[in-house]
Chains A and B, each alone.
Chain A
Amino acid sequence: MNDGRIGPKNLWGDRPAPEQGEIQRLGIGPLTLWIRGEANEVWLAHARTAEGEMPPSEPPEEGQWSRWALQDAPAHLRITPVLPDRALVVKPEHPFTLLRRASARIYMRIPAWIRVEAVDQQSRSASILSEIPTVQLSDTWWGDFIDGELSYWLSTSGRRRLTPDLFQSHLVMSAVQLDNLSADDLQVEKLSLRVEHLSVYEKDGWLWAEEVRVGYHGEDEGSEIHMDDAPPREADGAREISPARAQKRSFRTRTFARLRALSGLGG
């Protein structure tokens, strides 16, 4: 599956907070995160690099830091990967047609957001300081001109088979099982993935989300979506490292989209 390759260890979880004036540097995929300790304060700064670029080694200038004032200096900071805070509109680079009564399992890689939390020394409770996307996804609109939902846009290769090169430290692997239960062929050009209902799991240093099963019943009847409560079979035994933002549920919704009249022509 991932060819025995092991992902980065000790990246997620609690780590000692930086001392007064100390700067810690974390590299997570294209994201470089700097954490600075000050008296009862935590300072954060980040930078993203394009593919092929060397990550910056020096922290940014003063003006680019964000600052959090706390009751006491935290002993620990918690770093966890979480999924984006809105639904994703996923567009396969090569749209495909799923024949009637056929099924397909595709793998999508979702760029994680990095949640930074300050852990209280006594109570061990954590306060969220910031959530930083490792990749800045573009906004998109899922719906028509009058009503719809703001989502993130993700272009994916939509692989049918897992290969080692798919795994990266900042990407959450999501398995989507598509079942065309209708009597018509289904042209899969885009689909809306409600990632706010998904948790993040870790196995061998790589990140996974629960399996999403989509049953397509036809143009008029929409799709039935089910999200498991466990990691997919490909990541059996993975441990949950961050829970879903919203409660899991099965629901019926518009998930697929063919080319629709969102041309915006005129005027």
Chain B
Amino acid sequence: MHSAMAALQAAQDEAPDLWSMANIVADPGPFIRAALLLFVGMPLAWAVSRWVRGYVTRLYNPQKGLIIGKLVFWPIALILAVSVLKELGFSLAPLLGAAGIMGVALGFASQTSVSNIISGFFLLAEEPFKVGDVINVGDVSGSVLTIDMLSVKIRTFDNKMVRIPNETLVKAQFTNVTRFPIRRVDVPVGVAYKEDVGRVREILMEVAERNPHVLMEPAPQVMFTAYGSSSIDFKFAVWAKRESWLAVKNSITEEVKLRLDAEGIEIPFPHVSLYTGSVTEPFPIRIEGDAP
């Protein structure tokens, strides 16, 4: 650190005394050139990166456009910064020396950031999701807003922004729920043991057929899952277009309930049967007071 300070001091010593008003008035050239570089170059860099971003977006996708746009902007910005410093008379050799020493120190301090940047490139290459996809990461679920150099920003369904470091996404398991065009809706259905299982199956298939948003293919299915403690349990699986998934999930559940009620098929709630020790003995009841 001491060497870095010394290098910076050397850079300051080598810089001409440009900062006095007399010098600015006597030779305004370097300041004008530096200002021109800054005020023309930066908007130009921004415009070029915007154009590249748009072009790559049209060619591939917004995610690649975003990152390639940044990859174009930052090197141009760096070159401009160096040029401005040079115009102002700063010698770059001591600065670069200082930067090298500082770089080592910064390198140790910014391991996480570097890891996130490299992870960002892996995400870009692998493309497990794109802007607008809905992903589940741990207990967070939401739509991908941006994929940046360090992190991915997600908008949750209750409208919060969650920042997930790129490194986490490379390491962790996550689910992209909108990757494919169709999705399955699973509805658990339990009916009383006394009911006709074949009839229940027919009714559920009719419910699926009558819902116009349920896809006829892949065909709806009724799968037996278990002899439950209170009911015979089925999984009623229907397919829907990705965009209609939530509407189908809500409507089909309601339609199953209404139809089973209309057909007089019992959906039992969990219940417990009490025995007094023998299935043949009645449960003893004692009446107290003046019962009617």
Contact = CB atoms under 8 A, between A and B. Distances in A.
Interface of A: 89, 136-142, 145-148, 150, 153, 262-265, 267
Contact of A145 (B180, B209, B214, B219): B180
A147 B209 CA distance: 23
Contact of B184 (A89, A142, A150, A264): A264
Nearest to A142: B217
Contacts of B211: 138
B217 A140 contact: yes
Contacts of A146: 180-181
B213 A147 contact: no
A267 B221 CA distance: 12
A139 B221 contact: no
A142 B180 CA distance: 14
Interface in B160-204: 180-182, 184, 186
B184 A262 contact: no
Given A145-B180, A150-B241, A262 B217 contact: yes
Given A146-B180, A148-B182, A267-B184, A139 B241 contact: yes
B184 A148 contact: no
Contacts of B240: 139
B237 interface: yes
B216 A140 contact: yes
Residue from the set B214, B217, B239 with the largest chain A CB neighbour count within 10 Å: B217
A187 to B, nearest CB: 16
B218 A141 contact: yes
27 contacts: A89-B216, A136-B212, A137-B212, A138-B209, A139-B212, A139-B215, A139-B240, A139-B241, A139-B244, A140-B216, A141-B215, A141-B218, A142-B217, A145-B180, A145-B218, A146-B181, A148-B181, A148-B182, A262-B217, A262-B219, A263-B218, A263-B221, A264-B184, A264-B219, A264-B237, A264-B239, A265-B221
Given A138-B209, A139-B213, A262 B180 contact: no
A141 B219 contact: no
Contacts of A148: 181-182
Interface in B235-256: 237, 239-241, 244
Given A146-B180, A264-B184, A140 B221 contact: no
